[in-house]
Amino acid sequence: MSFFEDFGLSQQLLIILLIDLGIATLLLTLMRFILGWSANVNTQKELAEKDNFAFGISTAGAVAALGIVLTGAITGEAASSYTAEAIGLLSYGIVGIVLIKLGRFIHDKIALNQFNKNEQIISGNLSVAIVDAGAVIATAIIIRATLLWVEDLSLNTFIAIFSSFIIAQLMLVLLTRWRENRYQKRNQGQGLQQALIQGNTALALRHAGYMIAMGLSFNAASHFIEYVPDAYVSNLLAWLVFSIIMLVALSILQFIVKATVLAKINRSAEVELQHNVGLAAIEVAISFSVAMILTALMA
């Protein structure tokens, strides 16, 4: 072990590293098959035989989301024992899988309630798959922020995680409804969800960017909200208030920066009518940049 010890790695840390990697690999693999089971399809056939890009994007979003959640559970500090390390990561991983599945269900039934998401993805609709991946990644980012905010492993921890999860879903629904309202005003009453069904990939990419940026901006909450294990109501209200403030601040800053960076370009016409994926990608980059800068300033 002298080679590893030269780099400051003890035998205990190496064993914990192997435990964490092993459990993470198991959970990520499990996520793939859970997605296939829930959609009632064979994942191997969809990904390798049918070359269903939409299913691949949706699966990638869920796998990335679980990975993001796990990074909130792996702190880099060794647990009191190997068993405690394994139980802790496995517990957070299972909770992460459950919340990711529950979040997708809520998003499908409430936010995107005008079509059957699974049917659209199985039929190869890339636009719906992109939005699905964006929503689940945004939820995972917020769950990760909560994991870094809470302390130890107890019932209070999971109540706090679930509270932030509920707020995250509420914000995703509000963001979707707000974007829908703006889209209808610009497009003579036509709906955003119908545009997704019709395959507007640029619109889907932009909307996914908004959702992920919102999730990123909420990371700052852990720096402002004090974690009180048994203060269930105050914790929930604190996340709600902070989430609304961050959503408003992020929206205003995004509008200002996009209007400046993309001056003299009719962004709505390019993305919504001409399906300009390149311009939508730039908007996503701006959304990410604003959210990351806002988070860094508040941290």
pLDDT (tens digit per residue) in 68-118: 988 877 755 555 677 877 887 888 888 888 888 888 889 889 999 999 998
Name the nearest CA neighbour of 96 among 104, 223, 54.
Answer: 104
Q: Domain residues of the chain, as ranges?
A: 2-298
The better pLDDT of the pair 174, 298 is held by 174
Which helix (H) or strand (E) covers residue 58, if one does? helix 53-73
Mean pLDDT of 265-288: 94
Highest-pLDDT range among 48-57, 84-93, 228-237, 275-284: 275-284
What is the overall mean pLDDT for the chain? 85
Give per-residue pLDDT as tens, 183-192.
998 888 789 9
Structure tokens belonging to residue 47: 């990904």
Q: 3 or 242, which is more confident?
A: 242
d(CA 209, CA 266): 18
Banded pLDDT at 180 (limits 50, 70, 90): very high
Q: Rounded to an integer, what distance in angstroms lies between the CA atom of residue 117 and that of residue 81?
A: 43
Q: Where are the alpha helices (DSSP H) in 113-231?
A: 117-122, 126-149, 155-186, 192-197, 201-217, 221-224
